[in-house]
Amino acid sequence: MKTTQKLYILFLFAAFSLQAQQTPAPKQRGDITLTGGFAHIGNGKVIENSLIFITDGKITGVYDATTTKRPLKGEIIKIDGQHVYPGFIAPDTTLGLVEISAVRATEDQDEIGEYNPHIEAIVAYNAESKVVESMRPNGVLIAQAVPQGGTISGESSVVQLDAWNWEDAAVKRGDGIHLNWPNSYSRGRWWLGEDPGYSPNKKYASDITELKDFMVQSTAYKSGDASIKNLPFAAMQDVLEGTQNLYVHVDSEKEILDVLKFKKEMNLNKVVLVGAYRAYKVADQIATADVPVILARVHSLPEAEDDAYDISFKMAKTLVDAGVTVALGNSGEYWQSRNIPFYAGQTTAHGLSFEDALQLITKNPATILGLGDKLGTLEAGKDATLFVSTGNALEMMGNNITYAFINGRSISLESHQTELWKRYMEKYERTE
């Protein structure tokens, strides 16, 4: 019996070793020059015949090859006819926090308790996740790992998707605190015989009062007795001082307006709306308050019976036209984060130009996450986190990546899915 058990364990180890995560790419050694690519800068500009220099993990120059006489240097990669993009950014995701949602042991996205601003999601981030590696072949190179649950879920962090561990993955640790705004309406639990329709939440006002009390106590904590430690209050200090984002997950127009009022009353400088399903109804107020929005997953069904079928598709266009800074999110999903380029592509069929749609997953999320000086555009001085595609990377048939770099490191584009694709392509190519 013992021998059988040992053999079984050895078999499991062998099986998992065959499915091991690829080794992260080594640090860039030597200069790299990309020539001839159609560069989508990420700020609305394009260079049809580009020359991009990469040194020590940074972009050192982006030029028009038809007008510059700068000499090529280092490794020269000719990408004539291909497209160059900034690495796509996936905010509002549980990527790396959940591996298989049906297996509790692989799910580490929330904590017990209602007020957990001191909980850091990044310490649970699994850099060796098989789901993480499936992002890169679609151009998704950066993600925001976001905690879930409770009134205040905890602190998110921004990670790059080719790393040994969470410390190595961290691009920006603690980019913001996540608050789940109370629901003004709720639906009855039909399985308990309750009316399944919407009804006002009788505790809505008291829930907001409780939240305000927490903020007031957090403010008072700073000037209190330093010998008395309170981790939740201490964790709120950067938000209160305006150096850290407060991401408020909210949907209805009434709730959004209440969040804007809350922002003003609490004197909060950096508030971001997340989800914001009804934001299009109060777009002008959001723009006036200068509050950015991370939208819910674009490929979603309408939430109400009288909503237009394409409400999620055209939401970004409506908000952009109103002057709101918009990024596309994932509604907390993890595996669907790989589809974020196609969410942006969907918005081009509903009014946005290609370059404006591209900003929804490059420049805008980088700016919102406080990384606009490092990521989001192909500009000198920024991290060399970018990729090359043979076609339109916002379209499923065109998203075919040939090269990808994170901080100048040429990363693997292989995943379990690509290995299976190659295997079965070979099967049907055989003639015997």
The 3-state DSSP class for residue 376 equals: coil
Domain with 150, as residue range(s), is 89-375
Query: Among candidates 355, 416, 280, 335, which has minimal Cα distance to 85?
Result: 355
Is 371 found in the same domain as 273?
Answer: yes
* Final residue before a domain boundary, out of 354, 375, 396: 375
Report if residue 12 sits inside a domain: no
Is 199 found in the same domain as 313?
Answer: yes
The CATH number of the domain holding residue 38 is 2.30.40.10
The CATH number of the domain holding residue 192 is 3.20.20.140
Is 337 found in the same domain as 190?
Answer: yes
* Final residue before a domain boundary, out of 375, 396, 419: 375
Is 198 found in the same domain as 65?
Answer: no
Report if residue 5 sits inside a domain: no
Report if residue 240 sits inside a domain: yes
What pTM was estimated for this model as a whole? 0.92
pLDDT tens, the chain, 432 aa long: 456 555 554 444 444 444 555 789 999 999 999 999 999 999 999 999 999 999 999 999 999 999 999 999 999 999 999 999 999 999 999 999 999 888 888 888 989 999 999 999 999 999 999 999 999 999 999 999 999 999 999 999 999 999 999 999 999 999 999 999 999 988 777 787 787 777 888 899 999 999 999 999 999 998 888 788 999 999 999 999 999 999 999 999 999 999 999 999 999 999 999 999 999 999 999 999 999 999 999 999 898 888 899 999 999 999 999 999 999 998 878 888 999 999 999 999 999 999 999 999 999 999 999 999 999 999 999 999 999 999 999 999 999 999 999 999 999 999 888 888 888 988 888 766
Is 169 found in the same domain as 83?
Answer: no
In angstroms, the CA 331 to CA 76 distance is 40
Is 261 found in the same domain as 142?
Answer: yes
Report if residue 308 sits inside a domain: yes
Is 113 found in the same domain as 65?
Answer: no
- How far is the CA of 82 from the CAs of 41, 224, 241, 362, in angstroms? 14, 59, 45, 19
Is 189 found in the same domain as 116?
Answer: yes
| Cα 240 → chain centroid | 24
Asked if residue 277 lies in contact with residue 294, where contact means CB atoms within 8 angstroms, the answer is no
Is 159 found in the same domain as 283?
Answer: yes
Is 74 found in the same domain as 48?
Answer: yes
Number of domains in the chain: 2
In angstroms, the CA 225 to CA 219 distance is 13
Report if residue 410 sits inside a domain: yes
Is 394 found in the same domain as 268?
Answer: no
Is 423 found in the same domain as 322?
Answer: no
